[in-house]
Amino acid sequence: MNPVRWLALSLVPMMALPPQLLLAQSPAVPKNLDGYSQSASSIEQSWETKFRDLPEPARIRENMRVLSAQPHHVGSPYDKQNAEWLLAQFKSFGWQAQIENFYVLFPTPRERLVQLLDSSGKPTFTASLQEPPIPVDPTSSQTAEQLPTYNAYSADGDVTGPLVYVNYGTREDYEELDRMGISVKGAIVIARYGQAWRGIKPKVAAEHGAIGCILYSDPADDGYGVSDSYPKGGGRPAEGVQRGGVNDTEFPGDPLTPGVGATKDAKRLAIKDSPIITKIPVLPISYADATPLLKSIDGRVVPVKWRGALPITYHVGPSTASKVHLKMFSNWDMKTVHDVIARIPGSTLPDEWVIRGNHHDAWVNGASDPISGISAELEEARAMGELLKQGWRPRRTVIYCAWDGEEPGLLGSTEWAETHADELRQHAVMYLNSDGNGRGYFSAGGTHGLEHFIDSVASQVIDPEKNIPVIERTRLRQIARATPAERAALRSRPDLPIRALGAGSDYETFMDFIGLPSLNIGFGGEDHGSQYHSIYDDFYWYTHFEDTTFVYGRALAQVAGTAVMRMADAELLPYNFNNTASTVRTYVDQVQQLLKTEQDKVAETNREIQEGVFSATSDPKEPIAAPKSEPLPPFLNFAPLQNGSHALTDAAHAYESAVAKLESGSGAALDSPGIDAVNHELMQTERAFFLAKGLPDRPYYKHQLYAPGAYTGYGVKTLPAVRESIEQHKWSVASQATVDVGGVLQKEAETITAAEKLLPQPAAQ
C-alpha cells in the first residue's frame, strides 16, 4: 500500500544536519549521544560502528531473490512460505521469533469485465484486464500464481452507463465538472491514478452519483511520459496495471474488526455492515485498455491540467454514442495473515520495547514494494545477531516485525497492534517503519519528537554515491528545490524538518491509534518510472532499474539499525520537545493563515461574481458556470491553540534546558535509578496528543497533530480537526476543534513538565 514513493517524498522537506556538519566528508561523531552518559555514549558508538560495518549488499540482494521469487499476496502459498522462511532466518540469527496469525476478510476477483458497447448495446471492445509476460523477465510468466488485476474491497456490481472522464477524480475535479455543467449521475467514471489515494476516487465518484469507477495508469504519470517503457527502461508498459485496495479510510485493518484484533474468535461485523467497502464497483486497467474507452468519450475538450500523455484529445463526456459495461464480483473469503515477530530481550529494561517493521506481503512478486525494505530489515537482524555473538545486549527489548497483509489495508500490523494495544501503550518507546527502498536521497517522516534523533543518526551514515552523510545530501537537495524563504530557513535551522506522516504504510495504527513516537524512512528519488503494484515489480526489473547494486539497501539497514540500537540503549529516551514545539507553532500559524486565505478567497469570489467576471469569461460554446456565492467565513478564536502552543514551547524549553544541564554535568545522573521514572513519563508524551473521541467523524484517529486527510488518503493533514474543518467550511466544528486541540497542547505541556520534575539533579561538579 506504499504510495508511489517518490512522488510524495520528492516534494516534502525531510531531515536536518547540524550546521557544523555541513562540510563534513565523513560521518561526524557527536561528542555525546543524546540521552547517554559519557561512558555509555562511547560504548554505544563503538557498537554502532561495528554494526554499520556488517550489512552486505550481496546478502540483501539474495534476500530479495528468495522473497520475490513467486507471487506472495495474502493467502497465497508463497506468502506463508515467505513467513516461515523469515521466521527461520530470524531464529538462525539468534533471535526469539514466532508467527502470529490473524483472520481477515480478503476478497479476490471472481468475475471482471470492462466492455465498450455501441448504441445498440453490442460490444465493440473488451478490455484484456491482463498483464502479459515479458520474455526477458522470468517471473512475469508466473501467470497461474498471479493475483488478477483488481481493486480489493470494491463492491460487487454489474453496471452499464455512459462514460465520463474525471481527471484524477478528486473533489476539486468534480467542482470543475459541476461548473462545466456535467453530472456523473448514472454514469461510469474513468479516473487516472495519481494525486490522491486511489480509494478516494470511487468514494468521491459515488458521492456524486456515479454507478461505477474505472481507474487507469496514464503514461504521463508513470509510463513513457517519464521513462522508456519496460523492459527498455523502467517505465510502466502499455499493459501494466496498478492493483490496490480501495477500502474507505474510516479505519485501517480488517474491515470486519474495527479497533480490535482479528483473532480467531473476535466479534466480527457482517460483510454487508462493514463501512469501508466501496459503494460502487471499481476496476483498475492499463492505458492500453483505457485508450479505446477514452477515445469513445465526446463532449467538450478537457481543461489543460486534465490532459494526460496519450496521443488523443481528451474529452470530458459523458459519452453519447457508446456506453461502458463494468462487471466486478469477488470471492469474499477469509484469509490467514502471518506476521513474523522476532525479539531480542532487553538486558536492563526488558519491558521497554523498540519496534521495527516492514511488510513482507506483496500484490504480486513485489521486489520493490515491499521486498527491497524487508530485505534490508532482515540484514539488520543478521547484523544484530552478529553483535549478540560479540557480546552486545540491548538495554531495551528490540522487536523486529515482518508484517503480512499490508497491501490490502495494513491488515497484519493493525490487527497485531490492536491485539496488543494495552501492552504497546505500556511498553513501546518507538515504532520505526520502512516500506521498500530505492536509489538516491534519504527521506524520513514521523512524529517530531524524533526529528532531532533520526537526524543525528542519519548524519552518521554515508551516501554510497556521494560520500557525504545521507542527511547532508537530503539537505542540499532541499536547498536546490526551495524558495528563497525556505532556503533561509533550511540554512538557519539546526535540524532539517521531517515530514508529517499521513497514511499508506504500517506506521498508521501505531501512530494514530496506539500513540507511539513513530518514523518511516527510506531512500529514493533517482529512479524513474514505476511498476507499482504490477507483475513487473519483480527481481529482474528491480535489479535492472532500481538500486541495482543494493548499496542503498545497505544504507537503509545502517540507518534503521543504528536508530533501533540507539533508542534501545539510551539511558534517557532521546525525545526532543523543542522540535515538536516549533513544528506545532508552524502548524498553528498555518491554520490561521488558512482561515485568512479562505476568507480572502470567498470575498474575492463574491466580488468577482458581482463584477461579472465569471459570466464575461465563460465561452458560450463551452460555458463555465460561476461558483456559488458564499457567506464570508467567520473569524475563529485561535487563542486556545496559541495558548496551548505557548505552554508547549515553554515546557519543552524547560525540559530541554534541564536535560542539557544534566548532560553537561559528570553524566552520572543519566544512569541513576531515577531516570527510569522519567522514561516512564516520557512514554506518555506522544499519547498526550490524543483525544479519546478522536477526530470529528473519524473516532479511530486519536492523534491531534497528524492524520491522513479525509479526502487525500495518503496525504497528511496536520492539526487535522482544525485544518479540515476550515477547509470544508464547517465553522462550528472548527470552533470546537480549536478548543479541543488547544487543550491537547496544554496536556502535552503538562506531561513534559511532569517528566522534567522527575529528572534527577545534576551530579556535583
Choose which of 73, 335, 395, 473 interacts with a second copy (CB under 8 A): 473
The whole-angstrom separation of Cα 756 and Cα 662 is 11
Find the part of the chain contacting a second copy (CB under 8 A) among 461-469, 515-523, 650-658, 744-752: 461-469
593 is an interface residue for a second copy by CB under 8 A = no
Query: In whole angstroms, how close is the CB of 241 to a second copy at the nearest point?
Result: 18
227 is an interface residue for a second copy by CB under 8 A = yes
239 is an interface residue for a second copy by CB under 8 A = no
Q: Which CB sits closer to a second copy, 607 or 661?
A: 607
28 is an interface residue for a second copy by CB under 8 A = no
The whole-angstrom separation of Cα 376 and Cα 62 is 11
What sign has the CA pseudo-torsion 654, 656, 659, 660? negative
| Whether 382 contacts 83, CB under 8 Å | no
Closest Cα to residue 35, out of 456, 442, 445? 456
Query: In whole angstroms, how close is the CB of 285 to a second copy at the nearest point?
Result: 17
716, β-bridge pairs: 708
Half-sphere exposure of 632 (CA within 13 A, CB side): 9
| AA letter at 686 | E
Residue 130: what are its φ and ψ, rounded to 5°? Answer: -130, 145
22 is an interface residue for a second copy by CB under 8 A = yes
Query: In whole angstroms, how close is the CB of 311 to a second copy at the nearest point?
Result: 4
Closest Cα to residue 376, out of 446, 433, 414? 433
Choose which of 110, 122, 389, 466 interacts with a second copy (CB under 8 A): 466
The whole-angstrom separation of Cα 542 and Cα 539 is 5
Choose which of 190, 310, 355, 411 interacts with a second copy (CB under 8 A): 310
| Whether 283 contacts 189, CB under 8 Å | no
Distance set, CA 444 to CA 8, 9, 24, 458 (Å): 11, 9, 21, 10
Query: In whole angstroms, how close is the CB of 611 to a second copy at the nearest point?
Result: 6
611 is an interface residue for a second copy by CB under 8 A = yes
Q: 245-304: which residues touch a second copy (CB under 8 A)?
A: 301
CB atoms within 10 A of CB 115: 18
Find the part of the chain contacting a second copy (CB under 8 A) among 143-151, 217-225, 499-507, 575-583: 217-225
719: left (phi over 0), alpha (psi -120 to 50) or beta: left
317 is an interface residue for a second copy by CB under 8 A = no
11 is an interface residue for a second copy by CB under 8 A = no
Find the part of the chain contacting a second copy (CB under 8 A) among 327-335, 404-412, 579-587, 609-617: 609-617
Site size toward a second copy, by CB under 8 A = 45
485 is an interface residue for a second copy by CB under 8 A = no
Q: Which CB sits closer to a second copy, 450 or 468?
A: 468
Choose which of 418, 472, 538, 727 interacts with a second copy (CB under 8 A): 472
Choose which of 608, 671, 676, 750 interacts with a second copy (CB under 8 A): 608
DSSP state for residue 705 in the 8-state scheme: S
393 is an interface residue for a second copy by CB under 8 A = no
Find the part of the chain contacting a second copy (CB under 8 A) among 205-213, 263-271, 477-485, 693-701: 477-485
Q: 620-649: which residues touch a second copy (CB under 8 A)?
A: 620-621
Query: In whole angstroms, how close is the CB of 479 to a second copy at the nearest point?
Result: 5
Query: Which of 268-277 are b and which e, b meaning 16 or more Cβ less than 10 Å from the residue's Cβ?
Result: beeeeebebb
492 is an interface residue for a second copy by CB under 8 A = no
Distance set, CA 678 to CA 41, 63, 449, 577, 761 (Å): 19, 40, 15, 14, 12
614 is an interface residue for a second copy by CB under 8 A = yes
231 is an interface residue for a second copy by CB under 8 A = no
C-alpha cell recorded at residue 694: 478522536
C-alpha cell recorded at residue 216: 487507469
Strands 428-433 and 157-161: unpaired
224 is an interface residue for a second copy by CB under 8 A = yes
Q: Which CB sits closer to a second copy, 378 or 470?
A: 470
Choose which of 484, 692, 732, 765 interacts with a second copy (CB under 8 A): 484
Choose which of 235, 244, 366, 667 interacts with a second copy (CB under 8 A): 235
Cα angle 508, 513, 519; round to 5: 40
The whole-angstrom separation of Cα 471 and Cα 13 is 12
Site string for a second copy, 413-452 (x = CB under 8 A): ---------------------------x------------
Q: Please, what is the end-to-end C-alpha distance for the chain in angstroms?
A: 54
228 is an interface residue for a second copy by CB under 8 A = yes
Choose which of 91, 179, 279, 528 interacts with a second copy (CB under 8 A): 528
Using the structure block, give the residue that is written with the C-alpha cell 486497467. 285
| Whether 359 contacts 529, CB under 8 Å | no
Strands 96-105 and 334-344: antiparallel
Interface residue list for a second copy (CB under 8 A): 22-23, 219, 224-229, 233, 235, 301, 307, 309-313, 440, 465-466, 468, 472-473, 476-477, 479-480, 484, 487, 526, 528, 600, 604, 608, 611-617, 619-621
